[in-house]
Amino acid sequence: MRFTAALSTLLLGASLTTSVLAAPRPIETQLERRFQNLDDDVQADYATWEYFAGNCGGGSSKRSLHKRAIDVPMSDSMEMDVPLGLKTSQLRSCIGVVITGKKKDGGLFRVLGHFAAAHFMLQSEWDKFTSEYNKAGDIDKGTTQGYMSVPDYKKKYENGATGFYADENGEKKDATKLSEEFEDELKKRVDDLVDGNPQMFPRDVDIAEGSTMEVNEKNEVFINGKRV
């Protein structure tokens, strides 16, 4: 009897151990897999990353449409829920992102990010942006709106014209591909935050002064000085 009881206990323990070891791992959702790491989702060779790094202006500006606006530097983001605006400039090959909305107590908030296409920095830039977004607190998601100022990589160069996306040999396909991937992946993430497609505003990368993006204390958004 004792041998039989001991054997039964041993078999039961082995069965429980096997079931624990064989327990299936939680399956990641498609969204979790898709948004796991921005650096993995946007790929380019070293020369293309270097090319973009040399064509982003830096983010500060001496001019603003509104005196009550704070500069957001390149590769940085900032949230504001008091009567102050946010602005950035010299975007050039970078992407500017603004999210505006209301909190559930009725107060306005705004977030502005200056995203540089920089190798191994994309995810940290996005983490900074979402951290600033979350500072707004109790957000009324139904009031949020996204805006993106993006390089116009679809611009056509004719008769041997050159520019950021073209040289004497024609289109710079690696640069075009990096801009397209960067824009697409960032747009999906902004879309997820605001529960709807952000408004997209392509701009000419080749203008000498780069590009500005600004959101004032009333949550009005301006790109290159023009309200959108």
pLDDT tens figures, 84-108: 999 998 888 899 999 999 999 989 9
- Count the domains in the chain: 1
Distance CA 17, CA 209 (A): 67
CB-based burial of residue 38 (10 Å sphere; 0-12 exposed, 13-18 middle, 19+ buried)? buried
For 189-218, b/e burial (b = at least 16 CB within 10 A) is bbeebbeeebeebebebbeeebbbbbbbbe
What is the percentage of the chain residues whose pLDDT exceeds 70? 75
What is the percentage of the chain residues whose pLDDT exceeds 90? 37
Alpha-carbon dihedral sign for residues 8, 14, 16, 19:
negative
What distance lies between CA 210 and its chain's CA centroid? 19
Name the residue range of residue 108's domain.
2-227
> What is the model's pLDDT at position 39?
66
pLDDT bin (cut points 50, 70, 90) of residue 206 is confident
Higher pLDDT, 58 or 136: 136
For the segment 165-187, the average pLDDT, to the nearest whole number, is 88
Q: Point out the least confidently predicted range of 63-67, 106-110, 130-134, 214-218.
A: 63-67
Looking at the DSSP assignment, which residues form a beta bridge with residue 140? 102
Q: Point out the least confidently predicted range of 43-47, 130-134, 140-144.
A: 43-47
pTM: 0.77
User: Do residues 92 and 100 make contact, with C-beta atoms less than 8 angstroms apart?
Assistant: no
- The Cα-based distances of 35 to 28, 30, 40, 120, 131 in angstroms read 11, 9, 9, 15, 16
> What is the model's pLDDT at position 228?
92
